[in-house]
Structure 1
Amino acid sequence: MTAFVLVSGPFTGGWIWRETARVLGEAGAEVHPLTLTGLGERHHPASSAIDLETHIEDVVRLVDQLDAPELVVVGHDYAIHPVLAAADRRPKRIGRIVHLDAGLPQDGDTALALVPDQEVRERLLRPDGPAEHGGRIPVPRPDEWQRWGSTAGLPAETLARLSRDAAPQPSGTLVQPLRLTGELAGLPRTCVLCTAPGDSGADSVGGMTIAMAESLVRTGLPQFRMLADPAVTFFELATGHWPMLSAPAELADVLLRAAAGEGHRITVDPDEQPSHLKPFVLDVPERPRERTGAVDLFLPDADGPQPAVVFVHGGPVPADTRPTPRDWPLYTGHARYAASQGVVGVTVDHGLHALTGYPRAAENIAAAIDLVRADPRVDGDRIALWFFSAGGLLAADWLAAPPSWLRCVAASYPVLAPPLGWRGVDARFRPVIAVRSAGELPIVLSRAGLESAEIAATVADFLFAAEGAGVRIEILDVSAGHHGFDAADHTDDSRRAVAAAHHAVRAHLRARQRSLGWWTGGGLSPGPVGPLDMCAARACRRL
């Protein structure tokens, strides 16, 4: 007989599992819904002293009371934090951990980092924030639940019940770091992904998909490689963030299958080179490089100040990743190629380590640009910014208010709005909105034909918004290219597209006025080009 411990997310208690528990019980399972201290029917204790450790002890206490030799412990949303910590302390009692539409927090992470409600995050980050409202976060109103996750499948009366029966969340539970010793390494895990999108609007949140998880694994970054462990399985539920209310029977079926070891597994060749360490698609010579802090300059063979292009890497990238992005072959390759064409190439480590880190990364990019523009070898009035992958969100500031020295924005396989499931991204970073203010700023966009549907949708929305605002965009398509094609796909199409994009950016940098460019028919001379550049130039004229 399988025994389940069900731990619900913020504001809620054991009551939320009633229907799912009934179906599990009818299937012969032993079920133990848990209400954490200060929540649900246990909201009466003074909550100012309640923190994550309190809830860890709640889970450990229940695990110790049960006779079942192995338990399947389910953590929904925030609850995965106390669940993981409890499993770390009682690893021999746990048969499987289920992440129910929850993150994959590591040692030192706080639950606040994945709170999708931006207002709550900002308030709790203030010095006096955790003490507001007596150390509690007020229960969302019925029309506010979508700020905490997709409410797909929840009728109005259910949302009203959520607000009526929920309890304020003790703020200490969200700001206290998770501490793990590593004892839970190797425990089987299942990720149940709720895929239904939320309501339209910047504050709505939808779910991660298995396809998105697979694309993250293919990046080769260590924090995602764990998803390819044979002990990790995946299920999708086509519903919102509260499946125990919107699809209780379907959730019960998935939990039973998870306990039996079923589910999708992500496979990856352990000997395959991570995509971010693969060589650049163009064979370019070494160039002189100068390092100042987090900024590297690749210098051309030229006298006098030259235009520059700043390459903005994607992410998030864990802080302990080595080499850091500015030393990845992809970005050094782009920078060396730019320098070989008479343009100062700039790489920068901007420090995007989490989805909540975009504001800090934006500050670091702005500081890097100031440093570059102040260099006497750089023409500070002719700068281009080139964004890659999830670094595309950082283009928002520059599209919203383009400075006079910004001659061009380029983007390769960019993320231009937070995809479903990207909780914690500040609402300021929405290029799909900012592009409406771009005016005559030239934009060069390189797309991968085999891009994930979630990222491709953000690009489609961006182009639609640009068209509505009269913003012209030069588009380069690599029809058989994957995300990261300039390192992942060593094909003639990839090489032509990369060279064409550089050619377009270079032409805008050499223009006398920002409003002039190839698509205006200005007849500008891009300077000396080789055969590959001429072919690329013809390709780039396809608008």
Structure 2
Amino acid sequence: MTAFILVAGAHTGGWVWRDVAAALTDAGAQAYAVTLTGMGGGDGGNGGNGGDGGNGGDRPVDLETHIDELVRLIDQVEARDVVLVGHCYGIHPVRGAADRRPERIARIVHVEIGIPQDGDPAIKLVSDQTVRERVLSLSTEGGGTLPAPTVEEWQRWGSVAGLPAEALARLTEHAAPQSLATFTQPLRLSGAAAELPTTGVLCTANGSSIAVVESLVGMGDPAFQALADPRVTFFELDTGHWPMLSAPRELVNVLLRAAAGEGHRVAAGVRERPAHLRPFLMDVEERPRERTGRVDLHLPDADGPRPAVVFVHGGPVPAGARPTPRDWPAFVGYAQYVAGLGAVGVTVDHRLHELTAYGRAADDIAEAIDLVRADPRVDGDRVALWFVSAGGLLSADWLAAPPSWLRCVAASYPILAPLPGWGLADSRFHPAAAARGAGRLPIVLTRVGLERPEIAVTVEEFVSAAADCGAAVEVIDVPLGHHGFETVDPTDASRAAVERAVRSVLGHLGAGTD
């Protein structure tokens, strides 16, 4: 018999697993829905699992308190196979307990959460900047707990997509304030948990997916190579951040399959050349290339200052990824193509290494643009900015208040509004909202027909907002194109779309395109 120990996320207790635990029991498994100390909330206790764990109030509740409670529960479980399931915050005590009892654990399941490392506090994996700042501020002020979210604040923890109104109301009613020390105390691991079989449950409505995982592995950063281990599997659920409430039947099926060792493995896919390192879909003439700091200039064969097109990559791209984006075939291909048509093509490595770094990336782009405009071979009054994928959010500043030298903004399969779970809802990085400031600035938007739904929604939001305010948007469609089509869909239609977009941008710059 398999025993599932279900550990809830921030501000919640075992009650969130009620339907999942019942269905697992009906399927012949044991299910322990844990309420950790201090997280019982308005649900009236722990339902027989977890609880105060013998803490007795003799020390503050922190991450170690919760780890100790899980270790004691593991020691009490008689089933041969123990599967530890952690949702959101819950994965931190789960991995801590697994590290202390690795011989008892058959598998760790991460529901909607990454893999914390030794020394990581739980707050590190919280994507919402407002929540992170609030935890750190309250800790500095000597506060003891983080107040439970209001009904409007749950979206800061993740997408509420698929969550019935009754479930959201119950989530709010039973939510508990949580000890700040559980968020700020570093997780201490010996490394034993890293050897255990692991499954990730990814909820696509919250912006996570198997494609994203495979992309991270394909970046070449050693930090993500463990995800390609054959002992690591993945499942996707088409719902938001709380699948135990929005899709309990589907989650139960996934948990049972995970316990049986099933799931998608990325190892086979990463043996191939990653999509972003495949050849550019067009043969372009090689042009001279000069590197200064994080900026590369691809130079045309022309006298006098020439207009420039600055290509802005997406991400997050791990800091250890090699090659870096300015050496990826698509960006080199675009820049060389532009240079061959008489403009300066510019590729940039900015530091969007994690979702929390959009501000730093925006500063890098502004610095790069200043460097480019100051170069004597560039006409500083004729510049276009071309944003790609998640780099699309970085277009917001330029759309909101376009400078006179900005003659065109282009975007290819962009993300044009913050995705759920990214923690950027209240940030300045919201191009769909910024479009009203663009005026008659030309915008060239390349849209792919086979886009991920959560990204396609942001593009449609932008197009609608731009139409409402009279912005000059040219939409170029690639009906059978995928995200990153320049290296994955080398078709005549794709090549035609690239040619049209490039020539349109150069036309707005007044660059020669013969």
* Superposition TM-score, scaled by structure 1 size: 0.82
Checking the alignment, whether the CA contact within 8 Å between 2:382 and 2:407 is kept in structure 1 is yes
| Structure 2 partner of 1:72 | 83
Distance 1:276 1:142, change over 3 A: closer
Distance across 1 between alignment mates of 2:458 and 2:340: 33
Distance across 2 between alignment mates of 1:507 and 1:330: 21
Root mean square deviation, CA, Å: 3.1
Distance 1:238 1:486, change over 3 A: closer
Distance 1:135 1:307, change over 3 A: farther
Q: Which amino acid aligns with 1:373?
A: R
| Structure 1 partner of 2:104 | 93
* Superposition TM-score, scaled by structure 2 size: 0.86
Is structure 2 residue 133 aligned with structure 1 residue 148?
no
| Structure 1 partner of 2:132 | 121
Q: Which amino acid aligns with 2:154?
A: W
| Structure 1 partner of 2:414 | 414
Q: Which amino acid aligns with 2:491?
A: T
The one of 188, 195, 205 equivalent to 2:197 is 188
Distance 1:470 1:107, change over 3 A: farther
Distance across 1 between alignment mates of 2:345 and 2:239: 46
Q: Which runs of 5+ in 1 are unaligned?
A: 196-205, 511-525, 530-543
Of 215-224 and 363-372, more deviation after overlay is shown by: 215-224
Which secondary structure does the structure 1 equivalent of 2:347 belong to?
Answer: strand
Checking the alignment, whether the CA contact within 8 Å between 2:295 and 2:347 is kept in structure 1 is yes
Distance 1:101 1:337, change over 3 A: same
Which secondary structure does the structure 1 equivalent of 2:201 belong to?
Answer: strand
Checking the alignment, whether the CA contact within 8 Å between 1:75 and 1:99 is kept in structure 2 is yes
| Structure 2 partner of 1:348 | 348
The one of 213, 222, 243 equivalent to 2:210 is 213
Checking the alignment, whether the CA contact within 8 Å between 2:210 and 2:234 is kept in structure 1 is no
Is structure 2 residue 319 aligned with structure 1 residue 329?
no
Which secondary structure does the structure 1 equivalent of 2:273 belong to?
Answer: coil
Distance across 2 between alignment mates of 1:194 and 1:362: 28
Which secondary structure does the structure 2 equivalent of 1:308 belong to?
Answer: strand
1:459-508 CA distances to partner (integer Å, 9 max, x unpaired)?
A: 12211111111112122222332211112222222222222222111111
Distance across 1 between alignment mates of 2:501 and 2:250: 48
**Shift of the alpha carbon at 1:124?**
3.6
Of 235-244 and 440-449, more deviation after overlay is shown by: 235-244
**Shift of the alpha carbon at 1:74?**
0.8
Checking the alignment, whether the CA contact within 8 Å between 1:393 and 1:429 is kept in structure 2 is yes
Distance 1:47 1:276, change over 3 A: farther
**Shift of the alpha carbon at 1:432?**
1.4
Distance across 2 between alignment mates of 1:245 and 1:112: 23
Is structure 2 residue 344 aligned with structure 1 residue 359?
no
Distance 1:168 1:430, change over 3 A: same
**Shift of the alpha carbon at 1:72?**
0.7
Checking the alignment, whether the CA contact within 8 Å between 1:388 and 1:411 is kept in structure 2 is yes
**Shift of the alpha carbon at 1:383?**
1.2
Q: Which runs of 5+ in 2 are unaligned?
A: 46-50
| Structure 1 partner of 2:259 | 259
Q: Which amino acid aligns with 2:139?
A: P
Checking the alignment, whether the CA contact within 8 Å between 2:311 and 2:348 is kept in structure 1 is yes
Distance across 1 between alignment mates of 2:413 and 2:167: 40
Which secondary structure does the structure 2 equivalent of 1:368 belong to?
Answer: helix
| Structure 2 partner of 1:536 | none
Distance 1:176 1:348, change over 3 A: farther
Of 285-294 and 242-251, more deviation after overlay is shown by: 242-251
Question: Superposed, which structure 2 residues align to 1:445-484 within 5 Å?
Answer: 445-484=445-484
Distance 1:326 1:246, change over 3 A: closer
Question: Superposed, which structure 2 residues align to 1:527-538 within 5 Å?
Answer: 527-529=512-514
Distance across 1 between alignment mates of 2:448 and 2:168: 40
Distance 1:300 1:239, change over 3 A: closer
Checking the alignment, whether the CA contact within 8 Å between 2:3 and 2:31 is kept in structure 1 is yes
Distance 1:489 1:4, change over 3 A: same
**Shift of the alpha carbon at 1:241?**
3.5
Distance across 2 between alignment mates of 1:236 and 1:279: 29
Which secondary structure does the structure 2 equivalent of 1:255 belong to?
Answer: helix
Question: Superposed, which structure 2 residues align to 1:362-401 within 5 Å?
Answer: 362-401=362-401
| Structure 1 partner of 2:74 | 63
Distance across 1 between alignment mates of 2:445 and 2:306: 23
Distance 1:172 1:224, change over 3 A: same
Checking the alignment, whether the CA contact within 8 Å between 1:48 and 1:135 is kept in structure 2 is no
**Shift of the alpha carbon at 1:426?**
5.7
**Shift of the alpha carbon at 1:8?**
0.8
| Structure 2 partner of 1:517 | none
1:269-299 CA distances to partner (integer Å, 9 max, x unpaired)?
A: 4432111111222222333322222122222
Distance 1:387 1:140, change over 3 A: same
1:13-72 CA distances to partner (integer Å, 9 max, x unpaired)?
A: 234434433443344322333333433255897799544444334333433443333311
Distance across 1 between alignment mates of 2:290 and 2:186: 38
Which secondary structure does the structure 2 equivalent of 1:134 belong to?
Answer: coil
| Structure 1 partner of 2:34 | 34
| Structure 2 partner of 1:487 | 487
Checking the alignment, whether the CA contact within 8 Å between 1:449 and 1:480 is kept in structure 2 is yes
Distance across 2 between alignment mates of 1:33 and 1:173: 19
Distance across 1 between alignment mates of 2:305 and 2:238: 56
| Structure 2 partner of 1:436 | 436
Which secondary structure does the structure 2 equivalent of 1:309 belong to?
Answer: strand
Which secondary structure does the structure 2 equivalent of 1:480 belong to?
Answer: coil
